[in-house]
A = this chain, B = another copy of it.
Amino acid sequence: MLLIKRLCCSFQRINAITKTRQPGDTLEVRGWIKSVRRLKNNVFFDISDGSTMQKFQVVVPKNEQLTAVSAGNLVRVLGQLQVAPQGHYELHANSLETIAEGNLNSGYPFSPKQQHDPEYVREYLHLRSRTSCTAAIMRLRHKTQMALHKFMDKHDFIHINTPILTTNDCEGAGEVFTVQPDSDELLKQMSRPPVPLSQSYFDSKVYLTVSGQLHLESMSYGLGNTYTISPAFRAENCKSPLHLSEFYMFEAELVFIENLEELCRFIEKMIKSVTNDILKFSEADIQYCQNQTVGENFNLQWLRDTWQILSYDEASDIILRNKEKFKTAVKSNEGFSKEQELFLVDYCKAPVFVINWPAAQKPFYMKISREDSSKVYALDLLMPVVAELCGGSLRECDVNRLQEHPHFPQGLEWYLELRKFGGLPTGGFGMGFERFLQLLTGVKNIRDVIPFPRYPHSCKM
C-alpha cells in the first residue's frame, strides 16, 4: 500500500475568528491582499478569503518579508490575534508567505480598492467571485436554498428532482428550447423510421423544462406533499432585469388542499419563516448587498406586515379607479403590469395575494371556481421591489372538467389518469428563486444573483 505524508493544513477562516478565537491566540489565515497601508514602523493590509465580506487586518513589522505584501497576492500569514486600538481584532504577523502572485498589472480587471459597476463586473464572470458583492450574494444564495430545504423537510415535504428534459411543452408554445445529441452519427445510428432523424435519440421531440409542476403532481399523488428547487428555461428574447433564459424555480405541491386562502397562508408562513432563518446566518451579507444597491433605507417591513388578500375583481377595481396614475394603459381582463402590481402593494401597505382570476387568463390545470365558473382558484403573490414573486392555484381534480377544457394539451393522458385512480385535491405554487434573492438583497439585475447568467446573446463559460 502506498503511503503519502499527510500535510497539516489547518487554518482559520476569517468569518469565524471573532466567534471562536481569543486575543493572544496563534493562528494562520490565508487569503488575498485587498489593500496595503505603509506606516512608519508597520505595514497594514486587509486580507479577504471569501468567507465574509468583512476584511481582516494584518499588521506586519517592516522587515525583509515585505516583498510579499502587494495587493492581489494570495498569502499565508501566521501570527497572534490582538485587539486593535479601534476595538476590532487584527493579526500581528510572525511569518508571511506568498502562495501565488496577484499579477494585478497584467490584465486583472478589478481594482482591489474600487467598487465597480455590476455591468462591468459581469463582463468577467470567471473572476467575479473575487468581488465582495458577488461573494456575498453567492453565500446568501446558498444559505437561502438551505433555509428552504430545511423548512420544507421539517414540514414533511419530499424534494423531487423534476426532469430537465421533457416531452411536455404545456406552458411553452414557442418559448421553449429543444434538445438533441450533437453527433449526427449517433442520430443516424439510433434512427428508427418513421421517427424524424433529429428526434431519434428519444424517439420524440424533447424540450428543456419550463416548470416541474406536472411532474411534482404525479409524485404527490403517491407521496403526499412534494417540492423542488430546479432549473427552468425560457427561450424568450427578453432583456429585462427580471428575466433569465436559465433560472431556478422553487415549486411546491400540497395535498388535500381545497381552499385557496389556506395556500396563501402557507406561502406567507414559509417566506417569513425562511427569511427569518436566513437573517440568522446571513444578516451581514444581506445588509452589505442592500447598502450597495438601495442604500441604508432598505428594510424588510414585509416580514412584519400581515399580508393581504384581494380578489381579482377587487384588484381590478382599485386599478381602474386609479388609472390616471399609470404610465401603461389599463386594460381589463389582461392581468396587471409591473407598475400596477407595485401600486397594489403600495395601496395595501403590505404584500398582497390576488386570487380568483378569470379562467380565460390562466392555464388548463387550474381548478374552476365552483361558485363562478368564469373564474379559477388561482393566486398571484405581489411583493415590494420585484412585484410578482409567486403564482399558484388549486388544481382541477375532476377528470371530466379537465378533459373538456378547450386547451387541454395532447399527450397528457397520464395527467388525467392521476385523477381517475383515487385522485386527490392538490394545490401548489412556484416562486422564482432569483426574484426572491432580489427581494432580499435589492439587487436590481437578476443576472447578478445567479452564478452564471444565461440570457439572449450571452452564455459565457
Q: Known: A164-B246, A181-B176, A310-B1. Is A135-B222 also a contact (CB below 8 A)?
A: yes
Q: Are A245 and B182 in contact (CB-based, < 8 A)? A: no
Query: How far, in angstroms, from A73 to B423 measured CA to CA in the complex?
Result: 9
Q: How far is the CB of A92 from chain B (nearest CB, A)?
A: 22
List, in ascending order, chain B residues with CB within 8 A of A106's CB.
420-421
* A127, CB-defined interface residue at 8 Å: yes
Cross-chain contact A423 with B248 (CB below 8 angstroms): no
Q: Is A203 an interface residue (CB 8 A)?
A: yes
Which of the candidate stretches A82-90, A151-159, A286-294, A336-344 sits at the interface with the other chain?
Answer: A151-159
* B222→A128 contact, CB < 8 A: yes
Taking a contact as CB atoms under 8 Å apart, the answer to whether A100 and B164 are in contact is no
Inter-chain contacts of A190 with B (CB < 8 A): 237, 456-457
Q: Mark A170-204, 1 if CB is under 8 A from B, else 0.
A: 00101111111111011001101000000001111
Q: Which residues of B contact A100 (CB under 8 A)?
A: 397, 419, 422-424
Answer whether residue A280 sits at the interface, using C-beta atoms and an 8 A cutoff.
no
The answer to whether A126 has its CB under 8 Å from any CB of chain B is: yes
Stretch in A3-11, A56-64, A358-366 with 4+ CB within 8 Å of B: A3-11
Interface stretch among A19-27, A251-259, A324-332, A382-390? A251-259
User: Are A223 and B138 interface neighbours, CB within 8 A?
Assistant: yes
Verify B183–A180 contact, CB threshold 8 A.
no
Number of copies: 2
A242 at the interface (CB under 8 A from B): no
**Contact-size category for A:** 35 or more
Whether, in the assembled complex, A309 has its beta carbon less than 8 Å from a beta carbon of chain B, the answer is yes
Cβ-defined contact, A192 with B246, below 8 A: no
A295 within 8 A of B: no
A2 within 8 A of B: yes
Which one of B175, B237, B458 contacts A189 once the chains associate, using CB atoms below 8 Å? B237
Decide if A208 touches B235 in the complex (CB within 8 Å): no
Residue contact B162 to A451, C-beta cutoff 8 Å: yes
Report the minimal beta-carbon distance from A269 to chain B, rounded to whole angstroms. Answer: 13
Q: Which residue from B168, B219, B261, B265 sits with its C-beta under 8 Å from A138?
A: B219
* Chain B residues near A224 (CB-CB < 8 A): 13, 49-51
- CB distance B459 to A127 under 8 Å? no
Residue pair B134, A222 in contact (C-beta under 8 Å): yes
Distance (whole angstroms) from the CB of A257 to the closest CB of chain B: 7
Q: How far is the CB of A172 from chain B (nearest CB, A)?
A: 7
Is there a chain B Cβ closer than 8 Å to A215's Cβ? Answer: yes
Most B C-beta atoms less than 10 A away, residue of A30, A158, A189: A158
A142–B158 contact, CB under 8 A? yes
Question: Contact at A168–B421, with CB atoms within 8 Å?
Answer: no
How far does the alpha carbon of A126 sit from the alpha carbon of B308 in the complex, in Å? 37
What is the bound-complex CA distance between A32 and B258, given in angstroms? 18
**Docked-complex contact A166 and B459, CB < 8 angstroms:** yes
A183 and B235 in contact, given A126-B218, A161-B248, A420-B106 (Cβ under 8 angstroms)? yes
11 contacts between A and B (CB under 8 A): A4-B260, A4-B261, A74-B424, A99-B425, A129-B218, A139-B223, A161-B248, A166-B459, A167-B461, A176-B182, A203-B457
